[in-house]
Chain A
Amino acid sequence: MHLQLRSIAKRFGAILAVDGVDLDVDGGEVLALLGENGAGKSTLMKLLYGVHRPDAGQVTIDGRATRIDSPRDAMASGIGMVFQQFSVIPALTVRENLALAHASTPWFTGRGARRATAGLAPLAAIAPDVPMDARVSSLSVGQMQLVELAKALQQDPRLLILDEPTAVLGDDEVRRLWSLIRGFATRGLAVVLITHKLADVAACADRVAVMRRGRVVASGAARDFDATRLLRTMVGERDLAAPSTAPLPADAPTRVWIRGLSARGPGSRIDGVDLRIARGEVLGIAGVSGHGQDVLADACAGVLSPDAGEVIVDGETLFAPRQRAPRAGRVAYIPEQPIRNAVAPDLPLALNLHLDRLHTLPAIPDRRRMEADARALLTRFDVRPADPTMAAGRLSGGNLQKLVAARELCGAPALVVASHPTMGLDLAASAFLYHQLFALAQAGSAVLWISEDLDDLLHHAHRIAVLHRGRIAGVVPADQRHRQTIGAWMTGHADAEAA
């Protein structure tokens, strides 16, 4: 298939999201569509998939002008898409999900959906290890994504659009996805891979197109773009100094003591976690996801009441069983999944930026002042659009993350709990966020930084603690030499250190 986009444009209110884009995609090739958060990549592809309708421009498929008004039209034209937000139904089994999406499934299946065989072939082909009769809610994120992919493949598309598929995956899953994508291209499919990870480009792209502020600013063969050139094109001429943490003085006093903390959350728990974080220290928490990271973060931020132990900040017990001091101003918290945990989606940005200090506002808050404060913060943290009256739910994923960072990192907290703070952020935004985080540390905050990216942790943290099954398996200085040890702790081989 040959797909041609010409002068595609789309405006949302005052924002020109896509501004006259020309783009070509051919069968048998993988096009990596790159750009920062809010550059217009996802919007462009949603226009192609019929989720939105373009204000102007033309779509041509194999030489024929094609009008795509809905995802149904897109599918009929041979276009399939896997979104960032999954559309699988968690309460149903894999088999039922696939049967639901398959065209040949009758409208009434009775109990037949449990035995349905229609539409299973694509999943069996790409991932024979996913259990067909398991509920989707019990699958890992990577497996859910494979089910989504299988759903798209059921339509037998000739063009497949993947929206940031690697953002949520672990290392092994990413490698598997790369090889699947290469396989699709070999079979003649056209693949558009929306991403901001340079590793994705290197691993599987034939061509790249880079978007900035709604326009395609560069495109060409992937081999002609090295990492430096890609970065330059994506972010423009802004400064991209690598963030770094200041060395920690040997005599830095303990600022935060997480003392024998045990707590239970939905699905996981922590058990007797004991950590001291020095003034100015960045303590990384490494571990395979699901080993209690979310519970540790919630308990340290006072959101979850612990069963035992306490969180002592500047010598004062803030959180303990049946004791919860207000965290505002002293403990900053960037939880995972900000849309679920940290913002009120249908309320304005100005209010969302005051969420953790609502009680400090006067009884009749001055809206104009709130909005003025908010505008300054939005500009400083580069949240786009910087409109304090806009509902938070309309921000893109990366900008939501920036919004939460802006709120939590703007003060001078004693403790910062940051859970996957750069998830969904592009390179420039990640670098900026690390700058802010490490600047707080340098100013004296204690930082507890939870991440699954061991490279980032080794690079920036002062020490790394490994969480395994809710317990601290060990703590080492962040140094490449300890990589093996950390890996062994993460997988539960506590004795590897001795080896």
Chain B
Amino acid sequence: MSGGTVDRARAMAAPLGRPALAAAAFVVLAAAFFAVIGRNPLSMIGVVLEAAAGDSYAIGESLVRATPILLCALATALPARVGLISVGAEGQFYAGAIAGTGTVLSMLPTPGWTMLPLMLVTGALGGMALSLLAGLLRTGLQVNETISTLLTNYVAALLVTWLVYGPWKSPASQGWPATVEFPAAAKLPALFDSRVHAGLLIGIALAVVLHLVLTRSRWGLVLDVLRSNPRAGLVAGLDFRRNALIVMALGGALAGLAGIAETASIQGRLQSDIAGGAGFSGFLVAWLARNHCLRIIPLSLLVGALLASGDGLQMFAQVPSSVTLVIQGLLFVAVLLVNGWLDRKRPG
């Protein structure tokens, strides 16, 4: 293949932008997948669209799924700004859920207006604590943060399971492992008469604020330097440890917030497996967005919609809902392909 043709194709593709190209590649891949499993690609894509955004209920469910993914993606992107690779959003989500639930349970007989803010703050602190543990291990003992966050994910998830089977199990739930139902005072306000709660707005606002802070402020520059070359940062007198701990703490707080908001407003009680992979989807979204906080917003909504369409697929098209996991995988493959193609080091 001649280099000229590729260059010309690339030049023509540039104005379309990465998102459009990636979307096109994704549709092609998804269609191919449906063809392979013996379904009509067009009607299946129709079903996916219908189930993700066909009516106000579908849109609502998509936004519900997107909310924790958005916060968890921010929780991943923030440590990445100093070059730390945290895969701990899932565990921090659970840690936040535990801490916030603890607050709610301790205040239970008489819930007042203070319950909601206290629950959110302690939830954030819970996520922060777990994330700081990994941060301290990294800055103090050089323990790889990717491994430690991966492992603490299991600890936090199992801790939830133990709590809901044991000390926090509701006597009224007749054997079902869950805490008591949260009171209305612990729920975030709902939006547009749906299950979507204010956590979505909080997440979007935080993404915008973080974007401005990271790209406009002096602190953002400090983080950039530490990511680009920690040694040069040290020579310039910048404090890697302090900044690493700050971003780990803030990231953990965001995932913790996602955890307690999901527990209180969507599940209504603490039970096992409530994260449903939101932490990991968040990691992938952050990675797709290249840790760019604004790009995280649409990508979270897209991934949330895809995941939400799983139920629809199961109901209307009689395919296993796990098909959506394949579709989610294909989305990442599509973005990878397009990025790889556009970024390929030009030979010269």
Contact = CB atoms under 8 A, between A and B. Distances in A.
Interface in B220-259: 221-222, 224-225, 228-229, 231-238
Given A355-B225, A358-B225, A344 B232 contact: yes
A335 B235 contact: yes
Contacts of A53: 3, 347-348
Nearest to A391: B228
Contact of B236 (A69, A70, A340, A355): A355
Interface size class of A (residues with CB under 8 A): 20 to 34
Contact of B348 (A52, A301, A327, A358): A52
Interface string A326-363: 11100001010000111111110001001110110111
Interface in A24-69: 52-55, 69
Contact of B234 (A303, A346, A354, A362): A303
Contacts of A347: 224-225, 228
A122 interface: no
Q: Which of B3, B224, B229 has the most CB of A within 10 A?
A: B229
A36 B218 CA distance: 36
A361 B235 contact: no
A364 B348 CA distance: 37
Given A69-B347, A358-B221, A343 B238 contact: no
A363 B216 CA distance: 9
A333 B232 CA distance: 11
Given A363-B218, A364-B216, A364-B217, A333 B235 contact: yes
A45 B219 CA distance: 42
Contacts of B219: 363
A399 to B, nearest CB: 16
A391 to B, nearest CB: 9
Contacts of B236: 355-356, 358
Contacts of B237: 302, 326-328, 356, 359
A354 B216 CA distance: 15
B232 A341 contact: yes
A471 interface: no
Interface in B12-44: none
A53 B3 CA distance: 10
Contacts of A355: 225, 232, 236
A347 B229 CA distance: 10
A291 interface: no
B235 A10 contact: no
Contacts of A341: 231-232, 235
B281 to A, nearest CB: 28
Interface string B123-160: 00000000000000000000000000000000000000
Nearest to A325: B237
Nearest to A340: B231
A342 B347 contact: no
Contacts of A362: 218
Contacts of B216: 364
A302 B237 CA distance: 8
A360 to B, nearest CB: 9
B11 to A, nearest CB: 15
B228 A345 contact: yes
B218 A346 contact: no
Q: Which of B3, B222, B231 has the most CB of A within 10 A?
A: B231
Interface in A416-450: none
Q: Which of B218, B228, B237, B238 has the most CB of A within 10 A?
A: B237
Q: Which of A69, A327, A328, A347 has the most CB of B within 10 A?
A: A347
Given A302-B237, A327-B237, A343 B218 contact: no
B218 A364 contact: yes
Nearest to A354: B221
Nearest to A50: B347
B217 A358 contact: no
Q: Chain B interface mostly helix, strand, loop or mixed?
A: helix
B306 to A, nearest CB: 32
Q: Chain A interface mostly helix, strand, loop or mixed?
A: loop
A346 B226 CA distance: 11
A267 interface: no
Contacts of A342: 232, 235
A365 interface: yes
A363 B233 CA distance: 18
Interface in A354-398: 354-356, 358-359, 361-365
Nearest to B228: A344
Contacts of B231: 340-341
Nearest to B229: A344
A355 B218 CA distance: 11
Contacts of B224: 344, 347, 351
A359 B235 CA distance: 14
Given A53-B347, A358-B238, A344 B225 contact: yes
Contacts of B222: 358
Interface string B202-222: 000000000000001111011
Interface string B305-348: 00000000000000000000000000000000000000000011
Contacts of B235: 301, 303, 333, 335, 341-342, 356
B208 to A, nearest CB: 16
A32 to B, nearest CB: 26
Contact of B221 (A52, A333, A351): A351
A10 B347 CA distance: 12
A175 to B, nearest CB: 34
A335 B231 CA distance: 11
A53 B7 CA distance: 13
Interface in A47-95: 52-55, 69-70
Contacts of B347: 52-53, 69-70
B225 A345 contact: no
A14 to B, nearest CB: 15
A70 B231 CA distance: 34
Interface string B59-101: 0000000000000000000000000000000000000000000
A134 to B, nearest CB: 27
B218 A361 contact: yes
A327 B238 CA distance: 11
Given A355-B236, A358-B236, A345 B229 contact: yes
Nearest to B224: A347
Contacts of A365: 217-218, 221
B47 to A, nearest CB: 43
Contacts of B348: 10, 52-55
Contact of B232 (A55, A302, A343, A364): A343
A55 B225 CA distance: 35
Nearest to A355: B236
Q: Which of A356, A358, A362, A364 has the most CB of B within 10 A?
A: A358
Contacts of A70: 347
A302 B224 CA distance: 22
Nearest to B222: A358
Given A303-B234, A342-B235, A347-B225, 16 more contacts: A302-B237, A328-B237, A333-B235, A340-B229, A344-B229, A346-B228, A351-B225, A354-B221, A358-B218, A358-B221, A358-B222, A358-B225, A359-B218, A361-B218, A363-B218, A365-B217
16 contacts: A10-B348, A52-B347, A340-B229, A341-B232, A341-B235, A344-B233, A345-B228, A346-B228, A347-B225, A356-B235, A356-B236, A356-B237, A361-B218, A363-B217, A364-B216, A365-B221
Interface of B: 3, 216-219, 221-222, 224-225, 228-229, 231-238, 347-348
